[in-house]
Every structure is written in C-alpha cells, then in structure tokens.
C-alpha cells in the first residue's frame, strides 16, 4: 500500500495526522511494516560493532520506530474516541502483536548489554539513560531465558484479557442503558436532556463510566433512580471473572520480576516508591472521610423523612444543598455554555497566566465532525503547538475524560506538540450545549494536562510532556482546576447563554459556601476505589479468588471504608482505570489522584499567597515544572517550584477532614 498515509510523516501543520486520508484498512499494513522496520532498526543498534555511546544506542533508540509510533498513536486515540466495530476487530488482533513486539525489544540481551555499557556526563542524557535501564529491567531484561519465555506468555494473555474487559465495558455503556417508555418516569430531567436521549419513541439513558450516574441528582421518581443505579453497579457482570484473571496473572508476573505483589512492582518507579508510603497516606484519610460521610447521611435521611438508600444520596444531597445554602447547581447551567467556557474560561485563564493565545484552525480536520483544532501561540507570537478538542459523548467513545498527545514535543526531531482533550458531554438535540459545574471543572482539569504537553521543552520524546510518574501526572491538571472558580475568570465566561448577563454574585457565593458539603461522600467514594484497586493488586502469587464480588466486599470491609450508602466510585466489573490495560494503566495506581492532590493543594496555596492569576506566577510554574516534563526528578521539580517538600494539611483542610 504505497499510498498508506502512515508510511511517511504527515505534511500537515505540526504533523497533525491527516485524518481525512486515514481509513481502517490502513492500520494493519502500517502496524506490520512499522513493527518490521522497528525490529530491523533495533537489531542494527544492538549489533553495532563500535563502542556503545549515548548517540549510537540511546539516541538511536529514540529515533527508531517512527512508522510504528505514528500508527499506534493515531490508532489508540481512535480506539478510545471513535471505536467502530472495525476498529475493535483490529484492536483485538493487533494488541497481542504489539505486546510481543515490545517484549522482542526489551528482552533483547545484546541491546540491553549495550545500554549498560553507555556512559555520559550530560545530566539530561544521564537521566534518560537511567530511564531506559529501568524500563528494560522492569520489562524482564535480567531474567533467565526460561523466565523470559513465561513472561512473554503472561504479557500476551494479560493483553488479550484486558482488551476483552475494555470492549465488554464499552458495549455495556449502551447495552445496559436505562430504557424508559413513559417520559413521566424521567421527571426532573431538563427538557433538552430528555430530547437528547429520545430514540424511536423511547428514552435511552446510557451509563457513564462511574457508579453514581449524574441523572440520580435530578430524577424525582425513586424507582427510576433505583433502576438506573442498579443498572450502573451491575453492568458487564462477565468482567468479574476477567478481573480475577488479570489480578492473578499480574501477581505471577510481579513475582517473576522479583516483587512480592503487583502493587509493589507498580509503585517502585513512582514518586511513592513503596507500598507502605501509599498505605500510610490512604490510612490517614479513611477515618475522617467515613465519619464525615456518616454525618452527611444523617442529614440526608432527615431531609428525606426516611432512611435513604444509595440511589437516593445525590437527589437528597441537592435538596440539602438547596435548603442549607440556598444553592441549586442546576441554576448555574444556563451560564455555562460550552464554547464560552472553552474560549472565555479555559483559554482566557491560560492567556492571563502564561500569555498564550489561540486561533481556530478550521482548515485542519479531526477524525470526527465534532472535533475542533486550535493553533496555540506563545506571548511573543511564536508557535507553541496545536490543541485538538473532542467534547461530546457517543456510543463509539469510552467513558470519562482524558488527554493524549498526537505528536510529542522534542528537540531531537524538531517537533512541536499536538495535544488532545476528550470530554463526554451529552450533545443536545438542538440549541446550545450547557454544562454542569462538574463538566466545567473537568474541562479545566483536562486542559491542565494539555498545558503540561504544550509547554514541554525537552530534548527527547521519552520524557516529553506528561511522560512522568503516574502518581505525578494528575498534579498539574488538578492545579488548573483552581481557575474555574477564580473570580476574574468566572466573570469572563459565566454569562447567561441567552441574555449575556453575568452569573449573579450571590449565586456564586452560595456555590462557594456549599463547596465542602458532600465532601465526605466524594472522599469515601474515591478512597473506596483506590483501596479496592490496592486489594486486587496485593494478591500474593498463587492466591486464588473464587468469588470476585465477595472479595470486593471483604476488601472494603477490611480497609474500614465499607459503607452501603456510598459505594466505590468504580466497582470491579467497570473499573476501566485498572483493568482495561494488561500490564499498564492505573493498576495499583488509582491512589495517584489523591497523592497528586497533596501537591495540588500545596500549589494552590502558593498561587493564592502570591496574588494568583499573574504572568509571573504562570511563568514560574511553567519554567520550573511544566516545561521539564519527565527530564528530571519530578519531586525536585516540585521543590524548585514550591520551595519545599509538600505537606498533607492543605489537602485535609480543602476536603473538610481536619478535626
């Protein structure tokens, strides 16, 4: 296929993939050629008769595999954002092959020996060299041949099982949807929300990625709430057995690599370093969070006039919020129109803080008509990169919100970044897209990841942008959330979509006053998921689980986080963060969000102490932390920014957990 668009770099600005030319039949040939070429390049590096140097070994590896990288980057993005049946078939076929390909490189003894011989005095090169050495060791380079063969088998099976888990879950988001024939059962939902889910005379409410569906806060019919909730927690039941298989395979793999558990393996190259450090931090939060949630439950039952159930929590939380703070979150929606939030909120805050500007690039197409492309410029007018924005939910898109790179910044290739944000906002049947405040906050959060990618200023792709430890990667995005409620930013974007009137000051004051309400629920829901993840990945090698649901219940009880009224944010059967990637993802890493929030809370405190939204503050955050990506120790970068090590107290205060 000489015309295959993956065989040569894109000629579009910033090397944006030419989605208009890419068809499904291009992927498999491009993957096959990409893997063949990459292995040939790697063999040439490993077999080089000259002395091993940084340039002819590590840098050469950085330059290798370009066709494969282009193909995989686009394919993985499409598999998450617009996975047709054809894409899912390719995914099932290609992911095990990619796993084998990775093993063929990391278990190449000649290549590994060559990496060990490299020496360099350059700090950035030395850091990258150590990254490569650790990557190879953690991938099994030091194992015997027999153990390497078993490792390959484990990796391949993990990939296959995780792919099935992920595809089951994608199907379940629509297959387990709440289907309603009588519109009266949807009382409480807005007229536009009801129109958006009407299909062939019925109303189909698909499941979002987590336990607590947003509609539970609005539906007045208690039986409808119960049906929606039970569909949510019981979706994709076939995934329970797959989760057991994944956890036991990971435990065996960890033991093979010299670790007592997968959790120990997972945190060893993170900022946490040890399982004890993670458990100590989570342990400090459980007691105060559960006590807070129980107090909240009493208030909600008092408001309801009967002992509430889990499916009642969100509905009565909104009633208590309104009664106690005279605040109804739905009152804000008319002031949060999507395009205005993006341009006059997200982009405006970034402009004020960093001096960057944005220009529509309607001449550049995405992979779907809803995708928009923006060019980003530095304060001096120089080019910074492209920002690709895909806001809407669809049946072919996985749940949640995320950022990924389509092109990594690196001086090695002279490439500027192309970064992408995906949200899952319901597209209205007609009229403007009005957001909840949670969706506004998510837009700011994901753009924090985008800034981390856009501001990258490093030499090598391996350490570009968000290529940092998993328990650090959420930190810059969480910091960016603070600007969603910064007064001058809110005043700029929170305007009524019809009248243009600013959101009333008293409504904002009520929102701020209500911020800490329901934090017990939010913290318990999150901690339960983090501790459930931890329990699955502290299985000892050979340990068996007969009943996944019983294991889940016992794990939460043991951790002191079991509370029937506040279920874990993700149950085992739909915990995509930890089970949709065989050897990677957030397995034994869901703690990362709260770990990163410790750094975030410290940083928000620093910004407030230094007058907030000022160019000098943004320039300091950009230069000390965002621009360095993973090219140095990230905690050293944090200290360069903050001036000291982080403390947990700002986080406890934020979540209302200080006694």
Instruction: Tell me the torsion sign for CA atoms 119, 123, 129, 134.
Output: positive
Task: Calculate helix-pair angle for 109-117, 24-46, nearest 10 degrees.
Answer: 60
**Apex 554 CA angle, 549 and 558, nearest 5:** 150
Helix (H) or strand (E) holding 291: helix 275-304
Going edge to edge, which strands form the sheet with 418-425? Answer: 357-360, 372-377, 383-392, 418-425, 402-407
**Apex 299 CA angle, 298 and 304, nearest 5:** 95
**Apex 449 CA angle, 467 and 617, nearest 5:** 105
Query: For residue 21, what is the DSSP state?
Result: T
**Phi and psi of 480, rounded to 5°?**
-65, -20
Q: Rounded to an integer, what distance in angstroms lies between the CA atom of residue 6 and that of residue 224?
A: 48
**Phi and psi of 422, rounded to 5°?**
-115, 130
Q: Rounded to an integer, what distance in angstroms lies between the CA atom of residue 77 and that of residue 75?
A: 5
Helix (H) or strand (E) holding 136: helix 123-138
Q: Are 534 and 510 in contact (CB under 8 A)?
A: no
- Per-residue tokens: 401: 């919100």
**Of the listed 446, 474, 481, 597, which one is catalytic?**
446
N residues, the chain: 659
Annotation says 446 is catalytic: yes
Q: Rounded to an integer, what distance in angstroms lies between the CA atom of residue 473 and that of residue 467?
A: 8
Query: 């924090």: which residue's tokens?
Result: 448
Q: Are 257 and 251 in contact (CB under 8 A)?
A: no
- Per-residue tokens: 286: 């459980």
Which residues, 6+ apart, have CB-to-CB distance to 276 below 8 Å?
none
Detail the DSSP E strand segments found in 92-199.
Answer: 178-180, 198-199
CA separation (Å) from 26 to 7, 92, 581?
A: 10, 16, 24
Residue 482 backbone class (left: φ over 0; alpha: ψ -120 to 50; beta: rest): alpha
CA 165 to chain centroid, in Å, comes to 18
Q: Rounded to an integer, what distance in angstroms lies between the CA atom of residue 129 and that of residue 115?
A: 8
Give strand pairing partners of 415: 410
- Per-residue tokens: 648: 């947990």
Catalytic residues: 446
């Amino acid at each position: 296929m000489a015309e295959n668009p993956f065989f040569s770099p894109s000629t579009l600005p910033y090397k944006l993939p030419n989605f208009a030319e890419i068809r499904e039949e291009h992927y498999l040939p491009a993957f096959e050629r990409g893997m063949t070429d990459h292995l040939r390049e790697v063999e040439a590096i490993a077999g080089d008769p000259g002395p091993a140097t940084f340039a002819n070994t590590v840098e050469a590896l950085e330059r290798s595999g370009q066709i494969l990288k282009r193909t995989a980057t686009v394919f993985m993005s499409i598999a998450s954002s617009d996975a047709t049946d054809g894409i899912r078939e390719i995914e099932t076929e290609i992911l095990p092959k990619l796993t084998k390909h990775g093993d063929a490189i990391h278990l190449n003894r000649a290549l590994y020996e060559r990496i060990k011989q490299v020496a360099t005095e350059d700090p950035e090169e030395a850091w990258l060299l150590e990254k490569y050495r650790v990557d190879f060791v953690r991938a099994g380079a030091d194992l015997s041949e027999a153990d390497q063969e078993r490792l390959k088998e484990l990796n391949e099976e993990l990939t296959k099982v995780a792919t099935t888990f992920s595809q089951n879950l994608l199907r379940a988001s629509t297959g387990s949807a709440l289907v309603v024939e009588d519109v009266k059962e949807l009382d409480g939902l807005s007229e536009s929300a009801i129109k958006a889910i009407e299909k062939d005379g019925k109303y189909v409410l698909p499941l979002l990625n987590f336990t607590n569906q947003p509609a539970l806060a609005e539906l007045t019919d208690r039986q409808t709430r119960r049906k929606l909730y039970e569909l949510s927690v019981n979706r994709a039941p076939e995934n329970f057995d797959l989760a057991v298989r994944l956890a036991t395979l990971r435990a065996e793999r960890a033991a093979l690599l010299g670790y007592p558990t997968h959790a120990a393996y997972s945190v060893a190259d993170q900022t946490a370093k040890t399982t004890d450090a993670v458990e100590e931090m989570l342990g400090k939060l459980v007691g105060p969070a559960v006590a807070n949630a129980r107090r909240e439950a009493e208030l909600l039952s008092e408001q309801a006039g009967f002992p509430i159930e889990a499916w009642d929590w969100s509905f009565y939380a909104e009633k208590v919020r309104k009664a106690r703070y005279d605040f109804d979150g739905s009152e804000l929606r008319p002031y949060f129109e999507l395009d205005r939030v993006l341009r006059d909120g997200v982009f405006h805050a970034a402009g004020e803080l960093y001096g960057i500007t944005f220009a529509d690039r309607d001449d550049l197409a995405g992979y779907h008509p809803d995708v928009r492309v923006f060019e980003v410029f530095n304060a001096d007018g120089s080019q910074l990169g492209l920002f690709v924005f895909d806001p809407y939910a669809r049946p072919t898109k996985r749940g949640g919100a995320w950022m990924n790179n389509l092109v990594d910044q690196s001086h090695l290739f002279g490439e500027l970044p192309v970064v992408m944000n995906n949200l899952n906002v319901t597209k209205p049947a007609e009229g403007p897209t009005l957001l909840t405040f949670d969706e506004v906050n998510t837009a700011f959060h994901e753009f924090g990841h985008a800034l981390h990618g856009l501001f990258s200023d490093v030499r090598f792709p391996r350490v570009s942008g968000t290529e940092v430890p998993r328990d650090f990667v959420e930190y810059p995005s969480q910091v960016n959330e603070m600007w969603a409620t910064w007064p001058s930013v809110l005043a700029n974007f929170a305007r009524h979509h019809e009248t243009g009137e600013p959101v009333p000051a008293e409504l904002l004051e009520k929102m701020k006053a209500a911020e800490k309400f329901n934090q017990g629920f939010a913290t318990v829901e999150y901690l339960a998921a983090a501790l459930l993840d931890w329990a699955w990945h502290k299985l000892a090698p050979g340990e068996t689980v007969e009943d996944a649901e019983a294991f889940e219940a016992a794990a939460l009880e043991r951790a002191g986080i079991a509370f029937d009224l506040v279920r874990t944010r993700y149950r085992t059967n739909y915990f995509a963060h930890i089970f949709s990637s065989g050897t990677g993802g957030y397995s034994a890493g869901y703690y990362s969000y709260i770990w990163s929030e410790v750094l975030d809370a410290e940083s928000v405190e620093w910004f407030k102490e230094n007058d907030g939204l000022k160019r000098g503050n943004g320039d300091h955050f950009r230069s000390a932390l965002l621009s360095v990506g993973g090219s140095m120790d990230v905690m050293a970068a944090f200290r360069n920014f903050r001036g000291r090590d982080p403390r947990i107290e700002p986080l406890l205060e934020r979540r209302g957990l200080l006694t």
